[in-house]
């Protein structure tokens, strides 16, 4: 797991080259203009970045979760916001590949794997955040269609995408009443709200998705009625790993910027990096990132192996890596002094982007609940 072979190194290098060429040079401009770089996303598809863990017969790369977290770490060194959207797109693509019929797979996955079609994951609703099993968006059967009514909140890519993997209520209360639907973005009765004004993640749109009598074929359902909650949770295992990797990548970029800055910046007659107290700060930042990376790789390997503790390990890795990533980035800003607060240095953007990772894909408080339940159950 810890010694990469030639192929594994090549995968990481490809992702890093993409980040260095297309993401890093544009990240500050995209953030300032709130620009969603669809043209750049289209370039990611031919590299296999649109269907990383998807089967090859529909254009996927058939890579492991362990490969995926290494990819997202490298992508995030260029721009955590864009990398995180690619993660969300991959989650939606994987869910159709993993749970769809052959007809559904052939209809949707090739275009999503190439990123000619952009996907979004739609679970969260207004007032229903962490309590996902309480969602209220209704899908009422009408012959061979479902009629959808309700609203989804905080949907990444909404308004610029082509397809949603959406969780809706087809039955009674609780998780067993939830189903998963493939919902085309151009479905009549589906509209989106204004782009949310956010602290970070400005290089991807976040909007409400409003459903007013939207008609979706029953043939677009993933699995059976009532399977939606388990499909959603299984998708989130991979999503949590990828967003953890995005935090590590963004924080690593912040740490690398800090080492360069302290080497070049002089005070009191010597480079700042010669100050032992600052060296200790760097040492702690590097150690904490390496610990987070190690736990993340362990969790990814468990998910690949379908290990019994995969859910708790994914939750541990998500909680630890996103907390660590934010703290390291915040320390990096501090070590830049006043310059860290300036947009042009890129530190404040990384801090803003990484902050939301502690909230999405299940808040870190919920991750603690997941881990605690696994410990109590094992006791």
Q: What is the set of active-site residues?
A: 361
How far apart are alpha carbons 203 and 84 in whole angstroms?
10
Per-residue HEC secondary structure of the chain comes to CCCCCHHHHHHHHHHHHHHHHHHCCCHHHHHHHCCCCHHHHHHHHHHCCCCCCCCHHHCCCCCCHHHHHHHHHHHHCCCHHHHHHHHHHHHHHHHHHHHCCHHHHHHHHHHHHCCCCCEEEECCECCECCCHHHCCCEEEEECCEEEEEEEEEEEECCCCCCEEEEEEECCCCCHHHEEEEEEECCCCCEEECCCCCCCCCCCCCEEEEEEEEEEEEHHHEECCCCCHHHHHHHHHHHHHHHHHHHHHHHHHHHHHHHHHHHHHCEECCEEHHHCHHHHHHHHHHHHHHHHHHHHHHHHHHHHHCCCCCHHHHHHHHHHHHHHHHHHHHHHHHHHCHHHHHCHHHCHHHHHHHHHHHHCCCCCHHHHHHHHHHHHHHHC
């Amino acid at each position: 797991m810890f010694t990469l072979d030639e192929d594994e190194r090549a995968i990481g290098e490809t992702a890093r080259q993409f980040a260095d060429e297309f993401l890093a040079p544009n990240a500050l401009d995209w953030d300032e203009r709130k620009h969603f770089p669809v043209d750049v996303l289209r370039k990611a598809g031919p590299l296999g970045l649109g269907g990383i863990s998807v089967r090859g017969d529909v254009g996927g790369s058939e890579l492991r979760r362990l490969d995926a977290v290494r990819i997202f770490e490298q992508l995030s060194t260029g721009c955590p916001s864009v990398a995180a959207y690619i993660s969300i797109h991959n989650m939606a693509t994987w869910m159709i590949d993993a749970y769809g019929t052959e007809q559904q797979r052939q209809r949707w996955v090739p275009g999503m794997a190439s990123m000619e079609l952009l996907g979004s994951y739609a679970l969260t609703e207004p007032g229903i955040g962490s309590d996902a099993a309480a969602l209220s968006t209704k899908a009422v059967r009408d012959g061979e269609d479902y009629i959808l009514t309700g609203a989804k909140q905080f949907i990444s890519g909404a308004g610029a995408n082509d397809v949603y993997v959406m969780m809706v209520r087809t039955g009674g209360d609780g998780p067993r009443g939830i189903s998963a639907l493939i919902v085309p973005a151009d479905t009549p009765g589906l509209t989106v709200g204004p782009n949310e004004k956010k602290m970070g993640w400005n290089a991807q749109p976040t909007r409400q998705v409003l459903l007013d009598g939207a008609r979706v074929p029953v043939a677009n359902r993933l699995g059976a009625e009532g399977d939606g909650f388990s499909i959603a949770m299984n998708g989130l295992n991979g999503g949590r790993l990828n967003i953890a990797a995005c935090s590590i990548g963004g924080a690593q970029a912040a740490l690398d910027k800090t080492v360069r800055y302290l080497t070049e910046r002089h005070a009191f007659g010597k480079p700042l990096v010669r100050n032992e107290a600052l060296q200790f700060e760097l040492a702690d930042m590097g150690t904490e990132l390496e610990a987070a990376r190690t736990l993340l790789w362990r969790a990814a390997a468990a998910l690949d192996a379908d290990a019994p503790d995969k859910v708790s390990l994914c939750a541990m890795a998500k909680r630890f890596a996103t907390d660590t990533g934010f703290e390291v980035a915040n320390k990096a800003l501090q070590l830049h002094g006043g310059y860290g607060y300036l947009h042009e240095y890129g530190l404040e953007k990384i801090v803003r982007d990484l902050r939301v990772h502690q909230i999405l894909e299940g808040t870190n408080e919920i991750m603690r609940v997941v881990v605690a339940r696994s410990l109590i159950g094992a006791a």
